Amino acid sequence: MASKASLEVSSLVVPSVVELAKESSTSIPSRYLRSDIEKAVVPDGDRVLEIPVIDMQKLVSGGPNNSEVEKLDFACKEWGFFQLINHGVDSTLLENLKAEIDAFFKLPMEEKKKWWQSPGNAEGFGQAFVVSEDQKLDWGDLFFMVTFPRRLRNPNLIPSLPSPLSESMERYTSDLNNLSTAMLEKIAEALHMETEEMTEFVGEGRQTIRINCYPPCELSDQVMGLTPHSDATLITILLQLNDVDGLEIRKDGKWVQVQPLPNAFIINVGDILEIMSNGRYRSIEHRGTVHPVKERFSFAAFFGPRLDGELGPAPSLISEQTPAKFRRATVQEFYKGLFARRLQGKAYVDTFKIQQD
Ligand SMILES: O=C(O)CCC(=O)C(=O)O
Ligand SMILES: [Fe+2]
């Protein structure tokens, strides 16, 4: 049955960083400058960090004992992050989307104002998780909206975006919604969960999207494009929209840069999947850095469960030997708490942990 539950998401309204970046670097307000940025480690020589690569075609076509499902299990368990190739999303659509988003963020501010966030509503251009006037701000503008289920969409967004961006967004978010559902079925298989348990938990699902634009900044080592965080999702499908790297993950305590394969998706385990898998899979902390002279764009599609359900470890994954590591909560309660605080690594999901003696 379709749920009526909706969720109000808000964030304090802040100025546009794209506009700010047009001014000289001497005028960067202190709200953006940080002195506590940990540097990323540079891999030895020309060794780069090789995050696992999963092939969607192999994942869906293999029968029982599919080794790609085992690879998926390993990637979610050991990394919380992997690249997805052969994902089936049309590459022409991806190329069009990249150009259209670039043009969208370059529209004059006068026009972009139509889609700016407003007090009490975090959809549109702006920032997220800004809850106090004195917290540090990210060096980037985002565009956030609810995309699925359709009835929860804000009518001032997708249909009123410039054409052809609105048509590309419709196709892209719909393709990613289907891909997320297919991926979660495989994740259920990898976890040896009952399939119905996953489908019941996800229900109609909920997708939100966040497009990130990080303008260049001369003081790039003193600003953060996107504060270290884990995503509060089941899974996130991330696409880097241009040729500028900047995504970093915290691997074994150290920040390391990710170099995505062209047009591959980067998929990461979110906090809700960590809870549902009873900690077998772990959401990974990541951040967006800023380049000194180049702007960077990325597109994150967040996929979570229906809003009118409950979350907690899947009953089939709990036993006497593996007791529940997380408390149960309604999905609404989970999100309400999330949006009431600033982003701070994995601190929020940790509040759901049950102390083990
Ligand atoms: O820009 C990136 O690569 C990371 C984006 C991200 O983590 C997010 O939007 O949640
Ligand atoms: Fe993220």
Q: Which ligand is nearest to the CA of 238?
A: 1
Ligand 1: atom nearest CA of 296 is 1
321 to 193, 280, 325: CA distances (angstroms)? 16, 13, 12
- Backbone φ/ψ region at 244: left (φ over 0), alpha (ψ -120 to 50), beta: beta
Instruction: Please say whether the dihedral angle defined by the alpha carbons of residues 55, 56, 62 and 63, taken in this order, is positive or negative.
Output: positive
Number of H helices, E strands in the chain: 10, 14
Domain extents in the chain: 4-350
Q: What predicted TM-score, i.e. pTM, was given to this entire model? A: 0.94
Q: Which among 139, 224, 226 is the best mutation to test ligand 1's pocket, defined by most ligand atoms within 8 Å of the CB?
A: 226
How would DSSP label each residue in 154-178?
A: -TTSGGGSPTTHHHHHHHHHHHHHH
- Report pLDDT for 25: 63
Instruction: Give the ligand 1 atom nearest the CA of 236.
Output: 10
Measure 298 CA to ligand 1 centroid, in angstroms. 7
pLDDT of the residue at 1: 42
Cα dihedral sign for 156, 162, 168, 172?
Answer: negative
Contact 83/52 with Cβ under 8 angstroms?
yes
Give the DSSP per-residue string, 50-97. ---EEEHHHHHH--TT-HHHHHHHHIIIIISEEEEES----HHHHHHH
What ipTM was reported for this prediction?
0.99
Phi, psi of 96 (to 5 degrees): -65, -45
Q: Which residues line ligand 1 (CB under 6 A)?
A: 210, 212, 226, 231, 238, 247, 286, 288, 298, 300
d(Cα 246, Cα 226) in Å, to the nearest integer? 10
Any idea which fold 4-350 has? Jelly Rolls (2.60.120)
Which residue has the least CA distance to atom 8 on ligand 1?
300
229 alpha carbon – ligand 2 mean position (Å)? 6
**Cα–Cα separations (whole angstroms), residue 107 to 13, 115, 161, 333:** 19, 11, 12, 37
3-state secondary structure (DSSP) of residue 225: coil
The mean pLDDT values, 10 residues at a time, for the chain of 357 residues are: 60 84 81 90 67 96 89 96 98 97 96 88 85 86 95 87 95 98 97 93 96 95 94 96 94 91 96 97 96 97 96 95 95 86 78 81
- Order across the sheet with 247-251: list the strands: 226-229, 286-288, 247-251, 254-257
CA 288 to centroid of ligand 1, rounded, Å: 6
Q: Cα separation of 9 and 336, whole Å?
A: 8
Closest residue by Cα to atom 9, ligand 1, is: 300
Q: What is the pLDDT of residue 12?
A: 78
Instruction: Find the 347 Cα to ligand 1 centroid distance in Å.
Output: 18
Q: What is the pLDDT of residue 155?
A: 85
Mutate which of 233, 255, 298, 302 for ligand 1? The one with the most ligand atoms within 8 Å of its CB, which is 298
> Ligand 1, residues 17, 127, 238, 272: which to mutate, most atoms within 8 A of Cβ?
238
Beta strands in 130-262 (DSSP E): 141-148, 206-214, 226-229, 235-240, 247-251, 254-257
Which residue among 286, 296, 299, 338 is best mutated to probe the pocket of ligand 1, counting the most ligand atoms within 8 A of its Cβ? 286
CA–CA distance, 325 with 350 (Å, rounded to integer): 10
pLDDT at residue 2, rounded to an integer: 47
Residue nearest to atom 3 of ligand 1 (CA): 247
Instruction: Please report the atom of ligand 1 found closest to the CA of residue 268.
Output: 7
The residue contributing the CA closest to ligand 1 atom 6 is 300
For residue 302, which atom of ligand 1 is closest to its CA? 10
Q: Give the environment of ion ligand 2: residues with CB less than 5 A.
A: 231
